[in-house]
Amino acid sequence: MQPAKRPQPQALYRRLRPRRMTAGVALIPFSRELAGSLALGLMLGTAWPALAQTAIPASPPAPAPSATPAAADSDDDTPVQFAADKVEYANDSDVVTARGNVVLRREEQSVRADTITWNRKTGAIQAQGNVRMVDDVGNIVYTDKADLTEELKAGAMDDLLVVMREGGRLAAKSGEREDNGDIILHDAAYSGCAIEDIEGCAKKPSWEITAVRVHYDDKQKRVRYKGAVLHVFGVPLLPLPGLAHTSDFRAVSGLLIPDFRLGASNGAELGLTWYWRIAQNKDLAITGNFYTGSLPMAKTRYRQLTESGAFQITGYLTRSSVISVSGNTGAQNQQFRGYFEGNGRFQLSDNWSISGYGRIASDRTFLRRYDLGRDDRLRSSINLERIDDNSYFSLAGWAVQTLRVGYAQGQVPIAIPAIDYRRRLDMPGVGGKLELQANTLAITRTGGQDTQRAFARAQWDLRTVTGMGQVITLTGLLRGDVYHSDQNALTPTVLYRGNPGWQARGIATAAIDVRWPFVGEFLGGTQVLTPRFQIVATPHVRNLSIPNEDSRSVDLDDANLFSLNRFPGYDRIEDGVRFTYGLDWSLTRPGWRISSTVGQSYRLSNDMTLLPDGTGLTTRASDIVGRTDLRFGDIVKFTHRFRLDHNDFVLRRNEFDATIGGHKSYFEVGYLRLNRDIASTFEDLRDRQELRFTGRVAFAKYWSVFGSGVVNLTPRAEDPTNTASDGFQMLRHRLGFAYTDDCLDLSFTWVRDYVTTGDAKQGNGFSFSLSLRSLGGR
């Protein structure tokens, strides 16, 4: 806080403690006439009738009426309630004095003080000693002495503290109330921090704003500062010219706290945002980002809430040179660059809704260069839906912009329309559920294959439990497909093309799934052992003649082991007869739990042309897949997934994620290795080895250090297309420290990128984040 001449909010914490009133206090409802007769006349200042200098007894006589006819010249009949230990009247000076736990109430307003005096000659009303005033919106003023108006509002005050209803405190050396209700404070300090900790001990606020002058606008309920400076831990940090906020901290127009950053591509950055509160349901934020290494950038964000939903739109625009992602660093002309995103959802009726989101960038490196994101593709979609208890309808459209290096935008599909309808029916007499589905999709590419698809499906499921505890599920499925495609030769991977023109196929599947759980005690806990067996039969399906648009990234794992179709999507169907068997086991003890699953499948057919080697499903016997989860309370979480080659037990997939620690201090690490030996022509199925880690360590109650990183461990032998990797390539790391208490979030972060992509240069970046309770942050 500031030197002694400045008001210190934390020094006034004792005044925030409730004062207990004595047993002799009486609360009497006043009319205007009675209020005047007791010489407080706070509302009318009526003439003073004779009254003896006597104390109000602890047990008062019959109370006066709560209201009497008001004076003829008044337009306000609101009564004032009064309580005090003693009331005195000095005839010679014509001064009325109320002493001892004096309380005045008028609707939501109240004044408490040790002494309140009213000079009848001058009309001056003064409260002294532990004065506490509450206004009609709940703000509280503490001071030692205050001059009051007839409406129980303060006039001049010295050494005061204002506690706002929504949080925050304003302290000032002096203040006065103007005729229009505005309040002026001099040599003031504001903080949103509490002045006591959870144990009730006084503490200094971690931040405050000092100002030469503070103006409170009574009509607009708005606080404006002159000469405002932000202090953090007592150190002047940032001048805040034009700072203003509302007394209840509702959103209003104004300048937000600046944003600071330092990056390798653009140099030092200063972000200034003007916020415009257009109405209660809509706002606009306009940001100017200024750089030392490039031209400024403008950002605009508009948000609106309607009766049926909400939406927001954000746009960025600047002008700079673009360096080719191919590595050509020759001279480039300046051009306009930007990014747009929007999303919204509207509930049209109880069942109908429409939602959408869109993202588009001017080029492939804009987001990376300006540190707005690291996505390698931007998706846009719109979806009209109808949902009730037994049916679902969707009419959607999809578009994707690729930001990947070396991938042609013309090969990226646009899916419109995508129509899906499903209805679920009960089957009386037969039992089970019948689900009907109709689906159609049209995919268009500007420089690639176009495909249209339609199918209808009926699937029946019956689940029953036998007397011995087996859970049996019977499934029957019928489906008919119609496809049309052209320009198939433009698809690089031959296996994905299918035959051009019209193609049709029929699909029939029958399956039985049996689970038999066994429950018992083990090692002081409860264990559940569940063998599982499944038979799925599908006659031969025309797969290779059908274009493959949505079934490309096939990989056997524990999630799809017992699926009717291990291919994702609809375009590829796993035919033939197969047996799938596995085992689930779990052990639960107080404070910890372990669960594991393992399984394999065996096909009767030996069709090796459908799937490339390395997917785990190529030969009759599939690879062995499994998963293990371990939990120790909320301290340790560990998950391991694997896939073993069924021939030589080589790990084809090895993945684990581990978290150790709690909310404040923790360490997370993730590792993935895909060793499938799949040809590089299948770009969806390339091998990869990656290490991810992140952690945070809290210390000294409010401080913490944090860090994270991503390392590419893929050697060139496993992925020849990645020429930059040599088996250990750091991609990105982040280090920083943070301070977080009840009213302040402060952090400083160092980020380093190790890969240059076009004009998104490798190098160091630094950012500073500041969030103040009740004032927002950046």
What is the pLDDT, as a whole number, of residue 648? 85
Residue corresponding to tokens 């006043």: 30
What is the pLDDT, as a whole number, of residue 192? 82
**Integer Cα distance of 329 and 333 in angstroms:** 12
Write out the two tokens for 275: 């916020």
Tally the C-alpha atoms within 13 A of residue 67's C-alpha that lie toward its C-beta: 7
Whether 324 shows a pLDDT value over 90: the answer reads no
**Model confidence pLDDT, tens digit, residues 137-148:** 777 888 888 887
Write out the two tokens for 148: 């009051």
Look at 180 and 234; give whichever has higher pLDDT.
234
What is the pLDDT, as a whole number, of residue 717? 67
What is the pLDDT, as a whole number, of residue 193? 83
Contact 355/316 with Cβ under 8 angstroms? Answer: no
**Integer Cα distance of 313 and 356 in angstroms:** 12
Whether 427 shows a pLDDT value over 50: the answer reads yes
Which residues on adjacent β-strands are paired with residue 771? 745, 777
Whether 40 shows a pLDDT value over 50: the answer reads no
Task: Name residues whose C-beta falls within 8 Å of residue 464's C-beta, 6 or more positions apart in sequence.
Answer: 431, 471, 472, 473
**Model confidence pLDDT, tens digit, residues 674-712:** 887 776 665 556 778 899 999 999 998 889 999 999 998
Res. 149 pLDDT band, cuts 50 70 90 = low
What is the pLDDT, as a whole number, of residue 66? 35
What is the pLDDT, as a whole number, of residue 725? 60
Average pLDDT, stretch 103-116? 85
Instruction: End-to-end CA distance of the chain: give it in Å, rounded.
Output: 23
The rounded mean pLDDT for the chain is 82
Write out the two tokens for 185: 């404070």
Contact 390/423 with Cβ under 8 angstroms? Answer: yes
Res. 617 pLDDT band, cuts 50 70 90 = confident
**Model confidence pLDDT, tens digit, residues 333-389:** 788 999 999 999 999 999 999 999 999 999 888 998 888 888 889 999 999 999 999
**Identity (one letter) of the amino acid at 728?**
F
Task: Name residues whose C-beta falls within 8 Å of residue 602's C-beta, 6 or more positions apart in sequence.
Answer: 578, 579, 580, 620, 621, 622
Res. 415 pLDDT band, cuts 50 70 90 = very high
Work out whether strand 352-361 and strand 125-134 pair parallel, antiparallel, or are unpaired.
Answer: unpaired
Q: How far is CA 453 from CA 492, 547, 719, 720, in A?
A: 20, 9, 34, 35
Which residues on adjacent β-strands are paired with residue 744? 772
* The 3-state secondary structure of 329-361, one letter per residue: CCCCCEEEEEEEEEEEEEECCCCEEEEEEEEEE
Average pLDDT, stretch 496-504? 94
Res. 16 pLDDT band, cuts 50 70 90 = very low
Whether 25 shows a pLDDT value over 70: the answer reads no
What is the pLDDT, as a whole number, of residue 572? 92
**Model confidence pLDDT, tens digit, residues 192-230:** 887 777 777 777 888 889 999 999 887 777 888 999 998
Contact 113/120 with Cβ under 8 angstroms? Answer: no
Work out whether strand 254-255 and strand 259-263 pair parallel, antiparallel, or are unpaired.
Answer: unpaired
**Range with top average pLDDT, 380-394, 611-625, 648-662:** 380-394
**Integer Cα distance of 153 and 163 in angstroms:** 15
